[in-house]
Amino acid sequence: MDKQLVMMGLIRFLHELFTVLWVGGLAFMSLTLLPSLSKVLGAGEKNREMMKAVTRRHRVWIYLSMVGLLVTGLLLGRSSPSFMGFMRFDNLYSSLTAVKHLLIVFMVVIALFRSIKFAKKDQAEGPRPNKINVLLIRVNFVLGLAVLLLSAFAAAAG
């Protein structure tokens, strides 16, 4: 097998794996974990403790995914003849990836904000901060879905 084909296949695999870890984690939390916690534990302290524990553990995978997506995305972009450069709108492929990158920037900002704002162990959390945290998880999930949709159209266009 061609060495370049193997390298590009591995880079694409890692890019998709990091996407699954980040967006899939958001999907799991939004669609399964949050409703289950509310149903079983209610809105009390145990629910918040569980969310903190899950978020703390999942944060490692999100940060790893952010770095991995940046590195593999740069490598994939350089290899695509349709890619005209970062934040360029010269053709359909570049336009779709530029919008996708803007959404990813918003996702990173939200993830970092959540980490800074809601990760403090000694923070006294009432119901209001918990609702904001849950809302941000769901917003990032929707943004992640939009990124996946744009990626699919960019792949079809490129």
Q: What pLDDT digit, counting tens, does each position of 99-128 carry?
A: 999 999 999 999 999 888 776 654 555 556
What is the length of the chain? 158
With contact defined as beta carbons under 8 Å apart, do 143 and 103 qualify? yes
pTM as predicted:
0.84
Token digits of residue 67? 């770095």
* pLDDT value of residue 13: 96
In eight-state DSSP terms, residue 81 is: T
Tell me how many degrees the CA angle 118-144-95 measures, rounded to the nearest 5: 130
* pLDDT value of residue 80: 73
With contact defined as beta carbons under 8 Å apart, do 137 and 30 qualify? yes
Q: In angstroms, how far is CA 49 from the centroid of its own chain?
A: 23
* pLDDT value of residue 129: 59
* pLDDT value of residue 99: 95
Mean pLDDT of 119-138: 69
* pLDDT value of residue 42: 78
Q: How far apart are CA 49 and CA 123, in angstroms?
A: 11
pLDDT single digits (tens) 22-54: 999 999 999 998 888 888 887 778 888 888 888
* pLDDT value of residue 126: 54
In eight-state DSSP terms, residue 116 is: H
* pLDDT value of residue 77: 81
Is the pLDDT at 18 greater than 90? The verdict is yes
* pLDDT value of residue 72: 94
Taking each helix axis from N to C end, the angle separating 45-79 and 34-41, rounded to the nearest 10 degrees, works out to: 180
Structure-model confidence comparison of residues 65 and 49, the more confident one: 65
Listed residue (103, 72, 68) closest to 87, CA to CA: 103
Tell me if residue 80 falls in helix, strand or coil: coil
